Amino acid sequence: MKALVAKEKVVIVYSGRHDRYGRDLFDARIDGRDLGEMLIDEGLAEPWRGHQADWCAILRP
């Protein structure tokens, strides 16, 4: 991600949502694409599947 954001303009957009603690949530975008989705597409991140997900099983090769 560091290499990706170092060479591109990152735009932070307020999502209009809050988390359960009342904190504002924002989206990070590069060329109109969601940064999180880009990381998932590159295999550098996993999509959120909820609290019940077995993260160790997901991350095992």
Task: Write the pLDDT tens digit of every residue in 2-31.
Answer: 887 888 899 999 999 999 999 999 999 999
């290499």: which residue's tokens? 3
* Mean pLDDT of the region 32-59: 80
How many beta carbons lie within 10 A of that of residue 59, not counting itself? 8
- Rounded Cα distance between 31 and 10, Å, is 8
**Predicted pLDDT at 33:** 93
CB 30 within 8 A of CB 10: yes
Helices (H), the chain: 2-7, 35-41, 55-59
Residue 9: both structure tokens together = 């303009």
pTM over 0.75: no
